Amino acid sequence: MNTTVRVLEGIPAAPGMALGRAFILRTPLETVPRYSIAPSALPGELERFRRAIQTSREQMESLLTGVELDDELRAIFEAQLMVLEDPLLIDQTRERISDRQINAEQALAVEINSISEFLLKSKEAIFRERVADLEDIGNRLLSNLMDVPGGDIRAEQIRKLPPDAILVADDISPSLMLHIRFVGGIAVESGGVTGHMAILSRSRGIPCVVGVRDLLNTVSDGMDILLDAENGRLCLQPGEAERRQYAGYLKTRRREATRTITSPVNTACGQSIALWTNLSDVDETTDDRIQGASGVGLFRTEFLYLKNRKLFNDYTGQKNIYGQIFQNLHGQTVTFRLLDVGGDKRLPASANVHQRQLRGIRFLLANRWLLESQLRAIYEAALDAEIGDGICRLMVPMVSTVEEMEAVRHSFDTVRSQVHQERAMASIEQAPVIPLGMMVETPAAVLMCDAFAQRVDFYSIGTNDLAELVLGLARDTSLPPEELYYQPALFRMLSRLVCATSLPVTVCGEIGARLDLLPVLMGLGIRQFSMPPASLYKCAMAIPDLEIAACEALCAKVLQANSVGELRALLDENK
Ligand code: PEP
Ligand code: MG
């Protein structure tokens, strides 16, 4: 008999379904082990704490001396080093270990929480901002106490989860998401569909629901859950009917999992449409589903660095990774987007960078050594791989002024001539052609596209950012996709770009994989789409049923729509 199943509603962010037990992902400070210490073992516990401080200090000092640091970054590290001397934290933790006879992790977590709470209440921003430093160094101390290399202790817990676990959290940062690969599904209370956590879930094929109200108040660890990310729902303690629904889903999925595509795909009227793919990690380059794609239209290189933080300062490591990517792709074209950090892709404090509040190209120009080392690593890897013309493409993120594009081109030219000199390459003709394109994802880039046209080789439209910036929203806002992507203003923006340029235009934002919007984008004149591997097959199946003339007629009406309601009604009629 099926009793009433409690359902929580959220926003579908990565398609699929999963049945499994909930695992609540708590903050690092909440997850520390808790146990008591016998009085005779207290000196040993205090010694363990002292050693963790010592190791943390040595790690910080080597960060401070190992590389050239700008003043701002030096100040951050020095502040963190001072936290290690801070009697408020260190002495009180020691006292708590002895008085309460508890382990060091537990005592430290309590002290960090209480100091953070105190700082957060302050009216002065400077004190509130210290919380991030405190948590950063706290995380380092805890990692050293628990012998977890490299930072977030939750990554270790995630690795040990059963493959059907449903991860439940308030939010998951993109850098933590990089450690999440083999879980059944994800449900988060905050977050939005354009956030990079959602994007990574989609590209990894992990069903995900975001913006689930009351999630943490309702779900408990180990609870049975059916996560229905097709419809943005969580069924708690599912009954027979829900389990049957899941079995049906699994059957269809097994059938589709092995299906590959051959791009370009022809429409019913014979127009060819190129399907490219979006990747963010080296191991995705061996995914069978991308083999028939036209190439990698967007490689989000920032995730390589967020996953392996040492890369920021490891030139050889960077070059090896790009070399590995060329090798795995066997001559398929790859478009490397230069580091797009900032926004929800927060950098670790240990990265030797400054101006963390900047995003994309602005950040790279403020850290020109990083821009140049990335350009050089890609270029040298391309030369070593002996790739042909146009196989490697570069793309600049979050561009809004022509000066930014000129600065990147200048840096690239400088890097190339340095490399040619070092390698004694006689002429530029010996080098492969590497087109330089830009992401169009700010309203400024759309409005200035005529000025950019002389300075770039191709455009790729980033609708994830553009949709939010057109509406004045922050990235990752918890809005249902209808309110984000079905805005007439977005299509009018896109139309402005497509009408004003003769350069190749790809859409690499997630909107391209929405089957109801695909005909509108084709009606605008877009003939190339780049999307997660998991979306390629369904788009390749849909395109042969479309006629360009019908797409253009639909698009003309969409451009006349004055509201989300009108636009959706047009799409409904077109179904
Ligand atoms: C976009 O903004 O649409 C895009 C493809 O880039 P990202 O999602 O990485 O910001
Ligand atoms: Mg973007």
Ramachandran angles phi, psi of 514, nearest 5°: -90, 115
Rounded CA-CA distance 451/445 in Å is 9
Backbone angles phi, psi at 235, to 5 degrees: -100, 120
CA 132 to chain centre: 21
DSSP state at residue 4: P
φ, ψ of residue 233 to 5 degrees: the values are -135, 155
Confidence of residue 181 (pLDDT cuts 50, 70, 90): confident
pLDDT confidence of residue 150? 53
What is the rounded distance in angstroms from the CA atom of residue 295 to the CA atom of residue 263?
9
What's residue 404's pLDDT? 97
How far is it, in rounded angstroms, from Cα 384 to Cα 559?
A: 48
Question: Is the pLDDT at 177 greater than 90, yes or no?
Answer: no
> What SS3 state is found at 452?
helix
Q: What is the pLDDT of residue 56?
A: 86
pLDDT digits (tens, 9 = 90+) for 356-381: 778 999 999 999 999 999 999 999 99
What pLDDT score was predicted for residue 222? 95
Query: Which of the two residues, 72 and 226, has the higher pLDDT score?
Result: 226
pLDDT at 25: 87
Whose Cα sits closest to atom 6 in ligand 1? 462
Q: Predicted confidence band at 348 (pLDDT cuts at 50, 70, 90)?
A: low
Q: By alpha-carbon position, which residue is closest to atom 9 of ligand 1?
A: 300
Confidence of residue 203 (pLDDT cuts 50, 70, 90): confident
* Cβ atoms 345, 302 nearer than 8 A: yes
Residue 525 φ/ψ, nearest 5 degrees: 115, 5
Domains 6-28+154-256 and 270-574 agree in fold = no
Which is the closest atom of ligand 1 to the Cα of 300? 9
Q: What is the pLDDT of residues 58-90, one digit of tens each?
A: 877 876 775 555 565 567 667 778 888 888 889
For residue 312, pLDDT over 70 is answered with yes
Distances (CA, A) of 231 to 249, 440, 480: 13, 30, 11
The stretch 230-258 carries a mean pLDDT of 88
Q: Whose CA is nearest to atom 4 of ligand 1?
A: 462
**pLDDT of amino acid 243:** 92
- Gap between the Cα atoms of 305 and 319, Å rounded: 12
- 509 CA: nearest ligand 1 atom: 3
Which architecture, in CATH terms, is 6-28+154-256? 3-Layer(bba) Sandwich (3.50)
Q: How far is CA 216 from CA 25, 27, 186, in A?
A: 10, 13, 13
Q: pLDDT for 144-159, tens place per residue?
A: 888 775 556 677 778 8
**Span from the CA of 174 to the centroid of ligand 2 (angstroms):** 14
- Name which of 283, 241, 235, 28 is nearest 135 in CA terms: 28
Q: Could you give the CA distance from residue 431 to residue 387 in angstroms, rounded to a whole number?
A: 9
Distance 67 CA to ligand 1 centre (A): 31
pLDDT at 2: 46
- Residue 523 CB burial class (10 angstroms; 0-12, 13-18, ≥19): buried
Q: What is the overall mean pLDDT for the chain?
A: 89
Q: C-alpha distances in angstroms, 510 versus 127, 210, 481?
A: 39, 16, 11
* Separation between Cα atoms, residue 550 and residue 217, nearest integer Å: 48
Q: Which residue in this structure is represented by tokens 């059963």?
A: 162
d(CA 404, CA 456): 11
Domain ranges of the chain: 6-28+154-256, 33-145, 270-574
pLDDT bin (cut points 50, 70, 90) of residue 417 is very high
Closest C-alpha residue for ligand 1 atom 3: 462
CATH number attached to the domain at 270-574:
3.20.20.60
Q: Which of 340, 461, 464 most suits a substitution to test ligand 1, by most atoms within 8 Å of the C-beta?
A: 464
Residue 520 has pLDDT above 70, yes or no: yes
Q: How confident is the model at residue 280 (pLDDT cuts 50, 70, 90)?
A: very high
Instruction: Report the percentage of the chain scoring pLDDT > 90.
Output: 64
**C-alpha span between 236 and 166 (Å, rounded):** 11
Does residue 128 register a pLDDT over 70? Answer: no
Provide long-range contacts, Cβ within 8 A and 24+ apart, for 437-440. Answer: 437/335, 437/393, 437/394, 437/395, 437/396, 438/395, 438/396, 438/399, 438/405, 439/337, 439/340, 439/360, 439/395, 439/396, 439/397, 439/398, 439/399, 439/465, 439/508, 440/399, 440/466, 440/497, 440/505
Q: Which two tokens stand for residue 513?
A: 């994989």
**What is the C-alpha to C-alpha distance for residues 449 and 470, in angstroms, rounded to an integer?**
16
Q: What is the mean pLDDT of residues 26-38?
A: 83
Which ligand ends up closest to the CA of 466? 1
Contact of 492 with 559, CB cutoff 8 Å: yes
545: CA distance to ligand 1 center in Å? 28
pLDDT at 298: 98
Most confident listed range (122-126, 334-338, 497-501, 509-513)? 334-338
pLDDT at 426 over 70: no
**Which segment, 92-106, 167-181, 194-208, is predicted with the most confidence on average?**
92-106
Report the DSSP beta bridge partners of residue 210. Answer: 11
Per-residue b or e along 277-299, where b marks 16 or more CB atoms closer than 10 Å to that residue's CB: bbbbbbebbebebbebbbbbbbb
| Residue-level pLDDT at 481 | 81
Report the pLDDT value the prediction gives residue 557, as an integer from 0 to 100: 97
Q: How far apart are alpha carbons 175 and 300 in whole angstroms?
A: 13
**Positions of E strands within 487-566:** 505-507, 528-531
103 CA from centroid of ligand 2 (Å): 44
Q: What is the distance in A from the centroid of ligand 1 to the CA of 484?
A: 14
- Residues, Cβ < 5 Å to ion ligand 2: 441, 462, 465
Highest mean pLDDT among 113-122, 469-478, 554-563: 554-563
- Residues 334 and 325 sit within 8 Å (Cβ to Cβ): yes
pLDDT at position 382, please?
Answer: 96
Nearest to 152 by CA among 163, 171, 136, 167: 136
Tell me the CB-side half-sphere exposure of residue 114, using CA atoms within 13 A.
Answer: 10
Is pLDDT of 235 > 60? Answer: yes
pLDDT of residue 152: 60
Å from CA of 343 to ligand 2 middle: 10
Nearest-angstrom CA–CA distance, 350 and 411:
25
Cβ < 6 A, ligand 1 pocket: 199, 298, 300, 340, 441, 462-465, 508-509
Q: How far apart are CA 476 and CA 408, in angstroms?
A: 28
* 464 CA: nearest ligand 1 atom: 3
Domain 33-145 part of CATH 3.40.140.10: no
